[in-house]
Structure 1
Amino acid sequence: MNNKPKTIKNKKLKLLQSAICTMLLLFCIQVNSQRLTVSSTGAKILKDGNPITLRGVNFGNWLVWEGYMMNIEPGGSVREKSPTQIRGLFKDLFGNDEGKTVSFENNWRNSYITNSDFAQAKALGYNVVRIPFAYNMFWNQSTGTLTNDGFTWLDKAVSWAKNNNIHVILCLHTAPGYQSTSYTCDNPNGGTPNFWNNWNNVNIAASIWNHIANHYKNFVGNEWIAGYDLLNEPLLDNGNGQKSSLMASYKVMTARIREVDSNHLIFAQGNYYGSDFYDMLQRWDSNLVFENHYYGPQGQSDPNPDLNLIKGQGTALNIPVWTGEFGENTLDWIRDARIDYDAANVGWAFWAWKRQYTDRSIYSFPGTPKWDALCNYVKFGSAKPSIADAVTATNEICNKSLLSNCNLVSSLQDRLRPIAPIGSVISLQNSGKYVSSNNSVGVVTADRSTAQGWEKFTVVNAGDNKIALRDSNGKYMNSQNGASPVTSNSTAVNGWESFEWINVGQQIALKGFNGKFLCSEGGAASGMNCNRESVSGWESFNYASTTAKLSVEKSQIKDNEFTVYPNPVSDKLNFSVPEGFTKYTAQIFDLTGKQYSITKIDSNETTNSIDTRNLSDGVYVLRLDNNREVKSSIIIKKNN
């Protein structure tokens, strides 16, 4: 009798232990499923064993200041100030008071990027954020020792990434001795890059990476760290005979990371500011990614002249290529560059998330009279602000830089992440022939001369910025993961039924779960396949809709023709009325195509407004329709 309760207790204990083990196993599986790897063949970045395209933004000017992004660049032939010089400039404005300088630095960092910025980047369709940081956040040059100062900010970034299911890439933007002649690496006068001339600099950078990797190897949320970007935009000249030092330094840094962390990706940028990979054509790590940067001349006709060359170099070594920075150009150049990357199946991160007074970042923030006066002193030598005014001005600009006080630059965002026409019934056409579901029987072909019932598909939100195509029988197109011809007979949307809707100018492409594109080649009865690595003629489709399209880029909004303000909005949204829109409807949709309001307007007013108080926080589309043409703009709703 006395043994029975003990036996029952032991059984309960074993059940409890088993349950705990199961929970831990499931937790580990869930955590590891977010971690990225590189395929052993095919030059792909993988998530949970499946290809993922990293498209993102840079949170520049957060931890490493850049004067032009703050409206304090000198302009003309005067060299821009380095981050350390910018800090000295503010210290001077504060009467050489270190306490006030530290206070502004911290206030800036606490305001400029917050959890809201990560959440908004995710909401706008991005899945990675690249974060530049400085080496002296982790290294005390005076004592020659490692510090933990930088973890105050990078820990926030990793935690916010986890909160919002978005990846982060940590980038060493400035290195001891300077890795280029640019002010961006904190080189104060454009002198010779000495990072490699004294190999102790390389060892310091390697120690910093070891320090960071060791800190994050067990950090909660570390699975959302996509990887470590070893060195930003290096420059080694042919003349000094040291170009081979670049790969050698990368190997040292990689080895120190791998001493403590075997999981995260290694991003390695090419020479000449991330553009030249000839002296590093070796796969020295199984999770290595080549990172390309490109900023072309203003309005350049070909925004990616070396993209295919660089991608081919990586592919030959089974190394994926990823573009970590591009932008700072005309809106059309940015659109064409993005199309090139997407068509070549190369992921990317646009440079500027947030800047002052610009249409070349995704968000723009205004100034204040005192801040503008401070900027005029720095840029033009006008009257120097008093210490009190400098403190007020810097406090004000920190507040203005909060996302809630910034304006979305819709004309830029529309070109980077055009919206799929969720809810629309469309037809797809290539080489004059329409794609057909064939009544959900057999395979999908592209051989029909007209678009009837079988040639029409409803665009459905598949989640995670993907769509599904539902045919006239209510069945879904299935890519078959590229292993066999495409069908249209699935009853539910899972991985193989989801596609990325890729805008390629006036046409679109569909990228399947396997990271390859749908192809109509021949349109033969043998069926279409989802097995092409890049987009050219057979992989790009004209599409027509029998219902309203929400594609913002398709509407071809002209600059200043259709503006919305304030954006973000809390209650009343004002908008300018495009020419010819005297009688029209103003409709608001969310990104799934769900309609929230419709207002019929018959007015000759050049501006109008719509009530948004009934909307929850989120991203929406304001659509104006006068029965002849449609204009659209993205709006952000934020409750006070």
Structure 2
Amino acid sequence: MRITKALLLSCLLSLGACSSGGGATATPATAPATNSAATPSVTTGSALYPGYNTSPAAPDSAGMGGTAVQIAGRMKLGWNIGNTLEAIGGETAWGNPTVTKELIQLVKASGFDAIRIPVSWNQHADQKTAKIDPAWIQRVRQVVQYCVDNNMYVIVNIHWDGGWLENNVVPEKQVDNNARQKALWEQIATQLRDFDERLIFAGTNEPNAKTAEQMKVLLSYHQTFVDAVRSTGGKNAHRVLVVQGPETDIEKTDTLWTTMPTDSVANKLMAEVHFYTPYGFALQAKDESWGKQFYYWGKDYHSSTDVERNATWGEEAAVDQLFRLMKLRFVDKGIPVILGEFGAMRRDNLTGEARALHLASRAYYLKYVTRQAAANGLVPFYWDSGALDNFGSGIFNRRENTVFDRPALDAMVQGAGKP
């Protein structure tokens, strides 16, 4: 996700862009095959950019023994450094301060054991050669080191990044985007190659594939990602990698995703989806002709006086049903699932009893989603936009390194079954 004030408006126009997760009942299909010959062939357009795998290393399995399933089992609760290293214009461009080791220490001490770092790379790259600014790679490396120093698992991705890949999962862009995907990941993987298994790479963010044809294109992007990382060798020959469902939408993923990328090593792939269901409660920032905002969610948290603001869909049964789809399709087949983003905006405009009920309802939502994710084998990562005035999702005051939203934090920690 890319949550800014402008995006809140654009999200209203396109639910898919915010990965709402859907709510209708769907019939589970078989799990995507792994190491399948059905994986689409990849046309990378390699000649478009220089080759950046200039110093491949011999495979190094030291510190890389965990399978995807084992590593997923060690990540109970994750947190996103949102609107920061992926911000267009630089790390502080969207209102957040630079990430410090003290912030990561606070996140760890608060009960999180994994961090997802959304990163933009293309804006920091030469557009003719795709060469990433070395200073930017070193900055990302520094933040990864903060996480590893606190014995946390950390996921580094290519996020929205101006939409060059995310908004162009189409045959017309396939060759160009595979070439850029290869060039960027060869550089990222080479420069971060020496981290142990606590570092995980994720190939994309919320790729906008809506049809079977577009899904084939997306699978080629995933294959390019896997091949590029593995080609650099060293610990990357054994690193866990994460690939994303279409729009990271649970129902589209269940319907369209039929095969995992071919991999040179077994049991090192994870799938990723996001969850912002129901949209009216999680993300909708103003009333629209097609529907009003929901302030209250959950069977015991509906208002008896402000009834038009009660959720009318997407409540507990929908969470159970959607997460079970991912359990049946992936988890039960040995493919862990990262719930890479979830959350619900805090409606700070409310006052009095309405505010109290909303906050209690939101805490219940966060606890329920976290608990049911764990029950179905999904690893939940809370989306935290940071700056406290642009989304209402901030758990921490990053400028003061303090907990800002204790009820929401406690709800997730309890939902994850942590002390």
Normalising to structure 1: TM-score of the pair? 0.43
Residue pairs, 1:568-607, within 5 angstroms = none
Structure with more of its chain in helix, by fraction: 2
User: Which residue number corresponds to residue 158 of structure 2?
Assistant: 172
The partner residue of 1:362 within 395, 402, 419 is 395
Does the aligned pair in 2 maintain the 1:178–1:193 contact within 8 Å? no
Distance in 2 (alpha carbons) for counterparts of 1:294 and 1:194 = 24
User: Which residue number corresponds to residue 63 of structure 1?
Assistant: 85
Identity %: 18
SS in 1 for 2:86: coil
User: Which residue number corresponds to residue 253 of structure 1?
Assistant: 225
1:60 CA displacement: 0.8
Deviations along 1:112-148, one digit per CA (max 9) or x if unpaired, are: 3110111111101111110011122552114543432
Letter in 1 for 2:175: W
Instruction: Pick closer, same or farther for the CA change 1:215–1:266 going to 2, 3 Å.
Output: same
Provide structure 2 residue ranges, at least 5 long, that are not aligned to the other structure.
1-60, 282-296, 298-313, 346-361
Residue pairs, 1:430-445, within 5 angstroms = none
Residue pairs, 1:100-249, within 5 angstroms = 111-175=97-161, 178-181=164-167, 197-218=173-194, 222-223=195-196, 225-238=198-211, 241-249=213-221
The partner residue of 1:264 within 225, 239, 258 is 239
SS in 2 for 1:133: coil
Normalising to structure 2: TM-score of the pair? 0.63
SS in 2 for 1:347: strand
Instruction: Pick closer, same or farther for the CA change 1:174–1:360 going to 2, 3 Å.
Output: closer
SS in 2 for 1:223: coil
Distance in 2 (alpha carbons) for counterparts of 1:195 and 1:121 = 41
Letter in 1 for 2:393: R
Distance in 1 (alpha carbons) for counterparts of 2:276 and 2:158 = 19
Letter in 2 for 1:38: T
Letter in 1 for 2:411: R
Does the aligned pair in 2 maintain the 1:45–1:320 contact within 8 Å? no
Instruction: Pick closer, same or farther for the CA change 1:123–1:283 going to 2, 3 Å.
Output: same
Distance in 1 (alpha carbons) for counterparts of 2:262 and 2:162 = 24
Does the aligned pair in 1 maintain the 2:244–2:271 contact within 8 Å? yes
User: Which residue number corresponds to residue 38 of structure 2?
Assistant: none
Distance in 2 (alpha carbons) for counterparts of 1:62 and 1:262 = 29
User: Which residue number corresponds to residue 38 of structure 1?
Assistant: 67
Point out the structure with max Rg over C-alpha. Answer: 1
User: Which residue number corresponds to residue 301 of structure 1?
Assistant: 315
1:203 CA displacement: 1.6
Query: In the alignment, does 2:262 pair up with 1:284?
Result: yes
The partner residue of 1:402 within 399, 402, 410 is 399
SS in 1 for 2:84: coil
SS in 2 for 1:173: coil
SS in 2 for 1:151: helix
Does the aligned pair in 1 maintain the 2:119–2:161 contact within 8 Å? no
Letter in 1 for 2:218: L
Query: In the alignment, does 2:378 pair up with 1:346?
Result: yes
Does the aligned pair in 1 maintain the 2:243–2:271 contact within 8 Å? yes
Distance in 2 (alpha carbons) for counterparts of 1:103 and 1:415 = 29
Distance in 2 (alpha carbons) for counterparts of 1:214 and 1:307 = 35
Structure with more of its chain in strand, by fraction: 1
Distance in 2 (alpha carbons) for counterparts of 1:103 and 1:250 = 26
What is the alpha-carbon root mean square deviation over aligned residues? 3.0
Query: In the alignment, does 2:293 pair up with 1:318?
Result: no
User: Which residue number corresponds to residue 502 of structure 1?
Assistant: 417
1:346 CA displacement: 2.2
Distance in 2 (alpha carbons) for counterparts of 1:332 and 1:315 = 25
Does the aligned pair in 2 maintain the 1:246–1:280 contact within 8 Å? no
Letter in 1 for 2:179: N
Distance in 2 (alpha carbons) for counterparts of 1:361 and 1:103 = 17
Query: In the alignment, does 2:407 pair up with 1:411?
Result: yes
Instruction: Pick closer, same or farther for the CA change 1:348–1:407 going to 2, 3 Å.
Output: closer
Instruction: Pick closer, same or farther for the CA change 1:209–1:37 going to 2, 3 Å.
Output: farther
1:324 CA displacement: 0.8
Does the aligned pair in 2 maintain the 1:247–1:280 contact within 8 Å? no
Instruction: Pick closer, same or farther for the CA change 1:195–1:164 going to 2, 3 Å.
Output: farther
User: Which residue number corresponds to residue 23 of structure 2?
Assistant: none
Distance in 2 (alpha carbons) for counterparts of 1:121 and 1:136 = 28
Deviations along 1:337-370, one digit per CA (max 9) or x if unpaired, are: 1111122232111111623146532124xxxxxx
**Which one scores higher on RCO, CA 8 angstroms, separation ≥ 6?**
2
| Corresponding pairs, count | 298
Does the aligned pair in 2 maintain the 1:281–1:317 contact within 8 Å? no
Provide structure 1 residue ranges, at least 5 long, that are not aligned to the other structure.
1-30, 66-82, 88-101, 182-191, 365-400, 420-500, 504-590, 592-640
1:274 CA displacement: 4.2
Deviations along 1:496-525, one digit per CA (max 9) or x if unpaired, are: xxxxx827xxxxxxxxxxxxxxxxxxxxxx
Letter in 2 for 1:279: W
Does the aligned pair in 2 maintain the 1:161–1:224 contact within 8 Å? no
Does the aligned pair in 2 maintain the 1:178–1:194 contact within 8 Å? no
1:216 CA displacement: 1.7
Deviations along 1:365-386, one digit per CA (max 9) or x if unpaired, are: xxxxxxxxxxxxxxxxxxxxxx
